[in-house]
Structure formats: C-alpha cells, structure tokens
Structure 1
Amino acid sequence: MTAKRLWLLDVLRGAALLNMLAYHALYDWVYVFGHVSSWYDIGAAGCHVWQQYICWSFILVSGYSFTLARRPWKNGLLVAGCAVVLTVVTVGFMPSESIWFGVLHLNAAAVLLSWALRPLLEKCPAGLGLAVSALLFVLTNQVPQGYLGFETLRLCALPKAWYSPNWFWLGLPDLTKFYSADYFPLIPWLFLFWCGLFLARLWQPRAGLAPRVLRPLALVGRHTLLVYMLHQPVLYGALWLGHALS
C-alpha cells in the first residue's frame, strides 16, 4: 500500500501538520500561558504568512486527496465526528478558546458537499474549474470580515443585514457576538478546497516510496487526523508543565 501512495502529498500534508504543531505551541505559550515573545505576534506580517501557508497547504492537499478516496462520505462523517468532539471539549474545558467552525469542521463539510455535488463537479472542465475556484477564493477571501476582497485589498463592503442571522458556518458571522479560536467557514475556504480537487485532474505526482530523508514527514502525513486530535492535549500538558516549572 505504501508503494502505491502519492508520497509527495503525504510529505506536504506532514509538513503542514508539523508547522501547525509549532504554531499552536507558540500560540499557547504566548497567549494562553502569558509568556512574552520577542517575535511571535499573530498580528505581525510574518506570523500571518506562516499561518496562511499552513492552512492553504492543508486545505489544498485535502481537496486533492478527496479525489483519491474510495468512500469520501465515510471520511467526511469521521472528520465531522472529530469536529464535534473538538467543539464539546473546547467549549466545556477552554471556553476562551472555543472552536465552533474550525479546520476540521470545514474539512468535513467540504468533503460531504463535494461528495453530494460530485456529478456536477465532474462535468466541469478541470482547467475552468480551477480558474473559477481560485478567482472565487480571492474575491471572497474577506467575506467573513464584511467585504469582498483579498487580505487588505477591499473591493466593496457587503450589506450588514447579511450578517445579522450569524450564519458563521457559511462565512457570514455576526462579529459582535461570534468568536471561534479556529475559524474556517465555507466561504471562502470551500473554493480553495475545490482548487485542490480540480488540480488533481490536471496533475498527479509519481506514486511510490518517499525518499528516505522524507519518510518521517510522509509517515506523519498518513496519520494527520490522529495527530491533529492528540496534539493539543499533549502540547497543552507539556506547556503547562513547562509553565509551572519556569
């Protein structure tokens, strides 16, 4: 089975996951345990680029991997169950870090929606689908913040009435009362997921064993869901111990 895997996808997924572990460890150390950092600031440009690399690569690879799954609906339901557990645990034990619609919620919803829409998505030419999905992702990148545009480029503001129902899962949160420590709504992130889906029809890396030096990353990349579910309690426990001893 390992010889048949697309090892480059495993490596990219593993690299994104390890970057996420490092990012979350620093976030907890600075913002949960209150330690001062001379460079780690989630509002700084460098940290923002780092965070965006992590989520972009992870979501793109997830969309690509959707096309390789034999039972995507089963994968989607499994991830949805994990997302519910994550919400219950964070709301119950870390209310200040509650996660209502994070990357796991997005992944589950994107997989199940793409599975339901698969006949329509397969009818769309891959090149056109990739171009349209990329354009929609750029245009709707800041919809959760109330306007069309990408990052700091604001094209136009959206009606405030669209946000009053607080459809946070869609990307229309009422920011006066909604907060999620990890927030990845369907708009714009579903379009990035579909970029990966259409890319899979245009390009496929070679299957086989990863180069020896990259095999640890590939191993991590093959078990992302397990590592993701375990990383925060393990990190939190280790950092709590370090905080208590410091």
Structure 2
Amino acid sequence: MASPHRVALVDIARTIALLAMAIFHFTYDLELFGFAPRGTMASLEWRLFAQAIAGSFIFLSGVSLVLATKDSPIKPQKYLRRLIMIGLAAIAVSVGTYVANGAAFVRFGILHLMFAASILGLLTLRSSFWVSGLLGALIVALPHFTDWPLLDDVNWLWLGMTKAAMPAMVDYTPLIPWFGVFLLGMALAQWIAHSGKWSVIAQLINPNNRRVQIASWPGKHSLAIYLIHQPVLFGAVYLARIISG
C-alpha cells in the first residue's frame, strides 16, 4: 500500500526530471572527453534545458513539502534527519567538485538551494496558497525589476543579486530567483489541498500497478540517484575514452 503522503504522479514527474538530468550530465561528459563537439553544453538550447531541469526539481520539492505535511504536523526528528542528509550531500558536492574542477567548484548549487528552501519554506507552510504564490512570483521577478548595490559583491553570490564578476561554477542555483520557484510549487500544492483535490490526483494513477511502481521508484529515491548518477556516468565515459585511445 502506498504512503498517504506519496502521490504516484509526483514521483513519476520526479523520475522524468532525473532522466532529463542524466541526459544532460551524460552529454556534458561526452563533450568533456571529446565524444561531442566543444561548446555543445554552452549552446542556448542546452542552457535552457539545464534551467528547466533545475526548475522542475525545485518546483516538485515545494510540492512535496506541502504534500508530506498536509494531514499532519511536521515530525521534527524526521525532518531534521532529512535536512542533515541534504546538507551533507551539498557539502559532498562542493568538496567533490573542488577536487574534480578546482576553482570552478559548486559554491551554491541545487542541493544548497534545497537545504535553504526546506527551512525558509516552513515560514509559509501553513499560509494560504496565495501568500506562497505571491511571494514566489515576487522573488522570481525580483532580478528583473531591482538592483541592490549594497549586495553587489561576490560574497553575496548565494543570494543571487550580485552584479560582480562571478567565478566559474559548474552549478549555480541562488536563492533569488530559485526559492521563488520552490514557493510556487508550494502554492500549487496548497491550492490543491485547499480544493480537496489531492485524493483525486492520487487516484489518477494506481500506485499498486507494477509498471507504476517501477516508474515511481527513482522519484522516491531522488537524492541518492542525484548523488550517484554522475560519478557512474563520468566513470563510464572516461573508461570509453581509455578504450578508444
């Protein structure tokens, strides 16, 4: 029996996002080892693809925060344990990319954003959906309508409002505008809960169907797959490079 806090449609959506992410990183590795033309990943299409992947993960995380607590209060011990896991994973990504990429390491990537958003999102968790939606839209739009000279320093890169020359980074997902995307995911989930439609959505796909369970499995273990998939792909392409000479 599926958990009352899990919806197969959301898990499958996360699986699709993981598949897209694997395609992106595999192509990145192909270019890195000379199997794809130089400059492939710098093209507009691939940059937009990367942003769409990041946005989908962040949006679905906002949905999941509401969905996990819609029928019961947050269990502090369980929530803290997950926060620690995300925080340690973020540190591991920073350290790992520093070893692999040197100065282009991840200073504030998607896992760092997820860690911060999981804490900040609690501020509007019990608010009306329009509060999360309005605040989320404002944060997404903020970079296009304002400039903060006082924060115009590379030390504020985690916030996302700096205009200073940025160091090279293989992943950069600052609070502004990406926390806004997280809040928009929360707003959608809150609106669905307010409308009493989660039970309807949960019944759209039978979670006990074998094919559905297979398609949902990666989405249920997204953090582990996120951390493991790139080293596996990198190693496979590197091995192919050695074999091919």
Evaluate the alpha carbon distance shift between residue 127 and residue 37 of structure 1 in structure 2; reply closer, same or farther with a 3 A threshold.
same
1:54-90 CA-partner distances (Å, limit 9, x unpaired): 1111111001111215443332221011111111121
Q: How do 1:38-53 residues align onto structure 2 when only pairs under 5 Å count?
A: 41-53=40-52
Counterparts of 1:1-246 in structure 2, within 5 Å, are 1-2=1-2, 4=4, 5-30=6-31, 32-37=32-37, 41-67=40-66, 68=68, 70=74, 71-95=78-102, 97-115=104-122, 117-118=123-124, 121-123=125-127, 125-137=128-140, 139-140=141-142, 148-149=143-144, 158-164=147-153, 166-173=155-162, 175-176=164-165, 178-203=167-192, 204=198, 205-206=201-202, 208-209=206-207, 212-246=210-244
2:132 alignment partner AA: G
Change (3 A) 1:131 1:176: closer
Can you give the 5+ residue segments of structure 1 that lack an aligned partner in the other structure? Answer: 141-147, 150-154
Conservation of the 8 A alpha-carbon contact between 2:17 and 2:56: yes
Report the alpha carbon displacement of residue 213 of structure 1 after superposing the two structures with TM: 4.1
Mark the CA change 1:198 to 1:72 in structure 2 (over 3 Å): closer, same or farther. farther
Describe the shift of the 1:76–1:193 C-alpha distance in structure 2 as closer, same or farther (beyond 3 A): same
C-alpha RMSD of matched pairs (Å): 2.5
SS at match of 1:12: helix
* Partner amino acid, structure 1, of 2:86: V
Give the letter aligned to residue 37 of structure 1: P
Flag structure 2 segments of 5+ consecutive residues without an equivalent.
Answer: 193-197
State the AA in 2 paired with 1:7: A
**Higher relative helix content:** 2
Change (3 A) 1:174 1:127: closer
What one-letter code is carried by the residue in structure 2 that aligns with 1:103? Answer: I
Instruction: Summarize deviations over 1:139-172 as a string: whole Å, max 9, x none.
Output: 13xxxxxxx32xxxxx56x255522252111114
TM-score normalised according to structure 2 size: 0.81
Deviations 1:96-140 (A, max 9, x none): 55111111111011102223x25xx423x2134314412431x13
Identity %: 30
Contact 1:76 1:107 in 2 (8 A): no
Q: Distance in 2 between matches of 1:175 and 1:239?
A: 35
Q: Give the SS at the match of 2:202.
A: coil
Whole-angstrom CA distance in 1 between matches of 2:111 and 2:14: 14
